[in-house]
Structure 1
Amino acid sequence: MAGTSFLTYELYSKGLVLAKDKPKRRRVTTGCLECKQRKKKCDEKRPICSQCLRHRGAASICTWPQSSTPRLSTPQSSTSEKSTPHTPKAMAASLQQSNREMINSITGNSNDCHSDINQDTVKLFTLLPSFKGISMNAIEKHLFHALTSRSEAITSNTSLLRDFSFSSLLPPLSLWYPVTRSAALACGAVLLANSIDAAWLPIAQYYHTQTIHAIRTSLLRDGGEQNLPAVLLLHLYEELRADSMCPTHMHLAGAQELILLMMDHSWTTATGYQRIMVEVFLYRAAVSSTFISTSPIDVCIDRHSRFLQQSSMLVNGSSKIEHSTILGVPSEIFTNVMALSLLRRCMPLQPPDEIRAVRIYSRLQAYLVANAPGESDLDQPLQLLLTGELYCLACLLFLEKILRPSLQSHDPEARAIIGRALAVWSKFVAADFKSPTIKWPLVILGCGAIEEAEREMFRRPFEVLASLGVGRAQSILSLFDHAWGIALPDQSNIRFLGLNVLLYNDLLFSILV
């Protein structure tokens, strides 16, 4: 069944409890205006509650009083719950209290650094018409703004197709799919927890749990593709949080199942939205495959590539995937990155593995020749060519290290590859430093840097990301310290590892890109 990882995800099961007299239900004074008029109990789901969804259909949106704010939870106290604080209601009560304190701390102090967020978010929502139908309180607007304002630092460089950027796609998806909205709010909250105040973490956990339950319910009902952007956002949440309490690749496996199900029904009717979801998934699965301790997700790469090829022709009238990519990375690069990740796990290589390595080398060389300046199509964006070349050079260096484990940073083969990569990297503009799509090649190539100037070129983008509180950029800087033999404050000496870092599982698996 599609998305089994979500179908089996359940926080708690309460079991049998002693039945007690139910208290009288008091009249509810909160909720949407439509439910109040019909004297119905409102669950306050946004943008449309369950009562109105059944009564009026999904085409309409609830009307809310100006002072109305969505309830995070409405726990009821009981003696049994006091004795069992780990039940869902008790956890919700604790979370609600912490959320109230957080909201009061933000909105109650006019001198707080967040006191001007409402003006910024109002400007953002005014510029994007898709926001007009979304009813949000001040905290939710703040979380949404935190995510969209950092979009280029957590998704991709959007200079290729601005209309398909993260900031442009997220509002309409959140308008039509409440589950996507919850996932976006979880990501926004964890970003604030990383960069501003750790007290935002309980709110991030609340929306994360809410999203998982919504996905699980949706999969049991219809398994629609509206879950896919939410699942990919949950993987982004995993990367942004990245600790022992948050598995880093559970949601990628769930996305794989959803995509395969979607492909079974969309080969001849693929939309641009579906293509974007597949491309984002392939990118995430490929770059993660190098840095996970478990076996990489078994991605049907050929099937995905054929889907992208066909959907590109349907949507854009072009057979070239590169002409419509939104990631700034040619889709064929993903095949090589995944193949190298699997090959490294087979060291020392056996004859069949060596044959695979030769084939990968041939593909990389052919790509460099076909996409060399002056040889490639003139209508391909320059950044696409530069990014593709940077990935290819990183793959070549990684492959050389796999084929010859004794390869060192000062060897001629390594110096030639890194020198060419530095020439390519120097053509990128400062705005590209925030783009995560270039992190994978910079990590691989940076491990072989020798001179201080070239080390600074590789280090600078991750210092920018670390200052934004995005992902685990600091762990990448620590990896460079081990590769370059730089001593840390808590360590008297670190020996120079150079390219050998790429063979150390404990160091390689400690980072996320």
Structure 2
Amino acid sequence: MISTLSFGHPPSGAHARLSISSSPQPSMSSSSDSPIATPTFGTNDQSPLDARADSHADSGPSPSEIVPKIEECEIALADVKTEPLAEDPPISPTEPVRRRGRGRPRIYPPRSPTTSKQTKARSKTGCTTCRKRKKKCDETRPFCLSCQKNNIHCEGYKPVEIWKSGKERAAEARRISMDMKFELPPLMEGVENDIDRILLQHFISRASCVLTLHGSQSTNPFTRILLPMALKHEGLMHSVLCLSASHLCSLSPSQDYQDRQTFHRGKALHLLNQDLARQKAGERGTMVYEDSNVAQILLHLLHSICDGNTSGEYRYHMNAAKQIAMTQRSKDPEFQSLFDEFFYYHYIASEITSLEGAEVTMMDDFKLPFQINPETAALIGVSDGLFGFISKISNMRRRIRARIDNHEEPSMDYEALLTAHTIDSGLRSWVCPQTPGTPRYTVSMLYRQATWVYLYRTTKPSEPHPFIKDAVDNGIKYINDLPAEGWIQSNVLLPLFLIGCAAFEEQQRVEINRAFTGLMAVTGLGNIHHAKEVVDRVWELMDANDPESWDWERIIDSKGWDFLAT
């Protein structure tokens, strides 16, 4: 089928005519069978439609006369494309149109890629100053040139943050919270770490108890008098911790405790020297010590006992304490009583284990220059007058030793015999001020027995005798009757040492060894080992019938030792 569209060119003044033919016409320009609409433009040949148009040209065109021709087209089914199915079902003509209700828009509204606005992301790597000023930054590091040109302080750049998930940020926050741990400052000067707190607690609960006869913390002079002073004085607190570390090392050796002992000892001595350098001389030109410094000297003296020092280091503190005792008095009567008792006890006891010594002139007629209630005394032997006898015996031993060294005969002269008789009579008439049946009474009677043994070993030949055997047996009975508490065992070493040096019998030595072992376990004092070693040496000389077995001071000196058996 051929659709022919003809456009005529009428003469001038005539209307244009349109002719559409629907009749099949043979192809004039192509031999193809496909339907082709070929427009033809002619000037001479006219169709009947053109002739009718010309006849009515003068009267004007009539709309009813112009009938358009509709050309039938063949449509191949292959050329027809199927209409895509809509997502929503079609709405019927009778069904009213349902419009989408007003409300919140879709979460992800569809957006045409052609109509979306291409926004340019702002840079977040500029300096802090330019970002605050909302200015463009040239990002020069470490400080941008833009700020420098405008004479503005550049705050620099924030650190680059790497994106992390929620779990990673939570884990990092937990790690930072665990790492960010601030140590609390020390509550007391001198107590700096956990070990120091352990040392302070050990001093309160045990170390102070093995140095006095007071088992209760409320009556112990170290916790009741010295500890409050240490809370106000750093040097005294270091002295307390040094003493506690020394005692703890003897019980359970540890490098940590040893290091803290060395540290606190160094700090205590350094602060003590600083305080003494600032002290002013008294009216007589002598040095006046503060109570805290006197307490430090006393604690350093006790430290040599806990540490088991055999170099005679305690004598430096002993001489300083002696000068203080003779030249000044404290305004605090309780502290003065504590100092007097501890100084005189250790000063007189030091003569038992040393060749050096001088007579204590203040102990004439066995009277003390101070008064201490025996029921509340911290040590046995001082307040009840027994140490007055011991001091006299020590002085007599030095005179006898000097006569033996000078080969003077007899070694026991008339003056020595008179002194021995006076001491013996005093011991027999001595009345124990303690309540019978109490541990304090037993310890006092043990000291009385050890004092008589000390007198016998000084004035009699070093050989077995029934008198000395009975005295040693009775002393062992007193030791066995004592309770095993540490506070009552604190005063046992000195009488145990004196009785041990007079034990000629094997059975007595078994009991003495048992007592030494128990004393080491209970008190943990370092000087007990040295005292036991001296007793063992005395026993060897006894078994060899050596007449020099009475002079244990010379045995100690031959070893190069100088220690306190207290």
TM-score range, shorter chain: 0.5 to 0.7
* 1:55-94 paired onto structure 2 within 5 Å: 67=183
Give the corresponding residue for 1:472.
527
Cα deviation digits, residues 37-62 of structure 1 (max 9, x gap): xxxxxxxxxxxxxxxxxxxxxxxxxx
Give the deviation of 1:177 after TM superposition.
2.6
Question: Could you tell me how far apart the structure 1 residues matched to 2:382 and 2:324 are?
Answer: 23
Cα deviation digits, residues 229-254 of structure 1 (max 9, x gap): 21111011122334466613210111
When residues 344 and 216 of structure 1 are mapped into structure 2, their CA distance, relative to the original with a 3 A threshold, is same
* 1:98-117 paired onto structure 2 within 5 Å: none
Give the corresponding residue for 2:472.
418
RMSD: 3.5
Give the deviation of 1:159 after TM superposition.
4.4
Question: Could you tell me how far apart the structure 2 residues matched to 1:204 and 1:171 are?
Answer: 18
When residues 303 and 188 of structure 1 are mapped into structure 2, their CA distance, relative to the original with a 3 A threshold, is farther
Aligned: 1:163 with 2:163? no
Contact 1:158 1:326 in 2 (8 A): yes
Question: Could you tell me how far apart the structure 2 residues matched to 1:189 and 1:172 are?
Answer: 19
Cα deviation digits, residues 422-441 of structure 1 (max 9, x gap): 33223211225872312111
Question: Could you tell me how far apart the structure 1 residues matched to 2:508 and 2:457 are?
Answer: 20
Q: Which of 354, 366, 370 in structure 2 is aligned with 1:308?
A: 370
Q: Residue 337 of structure 2 aligns to which amino acid in structure 1?
A: R
Give the corresponding residue for 2:193.
137
Q: TM-score, normalised by structure 2?
A: 0.56
* 1:257-406 paired onto structure 2 within 5 Å: 257-263=323-329, 271-296=333-358, 298=360, 300-301=362-363, 306-309=368-371, 312=372, 321-331=373-383, 332-347=385-400, 348-367=411-430, 370-371=431-432, 382-404=438-460, 406=461
Contact 1:154 1:435 in 2 (8 A): yes
Contact 1:329 1:384 in 2 (8 A): no
When residues 336 and 462 of structure 1 are mapped into structure 2, their CA distance, relative to the original with a 3 A threshold, is same
Q: Residue 504 of structure 1 aligns to which amino acid in structure 2?
A: W
Cα deviation digits, residues 189-209 of structure 1 (max 9, x gap): 223443412564443233223
Matched residue of 2:485: which SS? Answer: helix
Question: Could you tell me how far apart the structure 2 residues matched to 1:355 and 1:401 are?
Answer: 16
Cα deviation digits, residues 388-431 of structure 1 (max 9, x gap): 22112111112112212x142x3011022122223322321122
Contact 1:466 1:472 in 2 (8 A): no
When residues 326 and 205 of structure 1 are mapped into structure 2, their CA distance, relative to the original with a 3 A threshold, is same
Matched residue of 2:247: which SS? Answer: helix
Q: TM-score, normalised by structure 1?
A: 0.61
Cα deviation digits, residues 286-306 of structure 1 (max 9, x gap): 222211232258563359954
Matched residue of 1:478: which SS? Answer: helix
Q: Which of 496, 513, 516 in structure 2 is aligned with 1:442?
A: 496
Give the corresponding residue for 2:122.
none
When residues 140 and 160 of structure 1 are mapped into structure 2, their CA distance, relative to the original with a 3 A threshold, is closer
When residues 215 and 344 of structure 1 are mapped into structure 2, their CA distance, relative to the original with a 3 A threshold, is same
Matched residue of 1:300: which SS? Answer: helix
Give the deviation of 1:382 after TM superposition.
2.6
Give the deviation of 1:465 after TM superposition.
4.2
Q: Considering only CA atoms, is the larger Rg found in Structure 1 or Structure 2?
A: 2
Cα deviation digits, residues 169-200 of structure 1 (max 9, x gap): 44313112322211111112223443412564
Matched residue of 2:291: which SS? Answer: coil
Give the deviation of 1:482 after TM superposition.
2.6
Give the deviation of 1:380 after TM superposition.
6.7
Give the deviation of 1:446 after TM superposition.
1.7
Give the corresponding residue for 1:502.
550
Matched residue of 1:430: which SS? Answer: coil
Give the deviation of 1:333 after TM superposition.
1.4
Q: Residue 526 of structure 2 aligns to which amino acid in structure 1?
A: G
Q: Residue 218 of structure 1 aligns to which amino acid in structure 2?
A: D
* 1:212-223 paired onto structure 2 within 5 Å: 212-222=269-279, 223=289
Question: Could you tell me how far apart the structure 2 residues matched to 1:176 and 1:184 are?
Answer: 13
When residues 442 and 153 of structure 1 are mapped into structure 2, their CA distance, relative to the original with a 3 A threshold, is farther
Matched residue of 1:397: which SS? Answer: helix
Task: Identify which range, 249-258 or 133-142, moves more after superposition.
Answer: 133-142
Task: Identify which range, 230-239 or 468-477, moves more after superposition.
Answer: 468-477
Cα deviation digits, residues 440-477 of structure 1 (max 9, x gap): 11111122234555333322342234346422212222
Q: Residue 525 of structure 2 aligns to which amino acid in structure 1?
A: V
Which consecutive residues of structure 2, in runs of 5 or more, have no partner in the other structure?
1-180, 280-288, 401-410
Question: Could you tell me how far apart the structure 2 residues matched to 1:216 and 1:189 are?
Answer: 21
Q: Residue 220 of structure 1 aligns to which amino acid in structure 2?
A: A
Cα deviation digits, residues 144-191 of structure 1 (max 9, x gap): 234334326640232489513434444313112322211111112223
Q: Residue 529 of structure 2 aligns to which amino acid in structure 1?
A: Q
Question: Could you tell me how far apart the structure 1 residues matched to 2:304 and 2:295 are?
Answer: 14
Matched residue of 2:468: which SS? Answer: helix
Question: Could you tell me how far apart the structure 2 residues matched to 1:272 and 1:170 are?
Answer: 10
Cα deviation digits, residues 84-103 of structure 1 (max 9, x gap): xxxxxxxxxxxxxxxxxxxx
Contact 1:482 1:495 in 2 (8 A): no
When residues 433 and 344 of structure 1 are mapped into structure 2, their CA distance, relative to the original with a 3 A threshold, is farther
Give the deviation of 1:139 after TM superposition.
2.2
State the percentage of identical aligned residues.
17
Question: Could you tell me how far apart the structure 1 residues matched to 2:228 and 2:302 are?
Answer: 19
More helix by share: 1
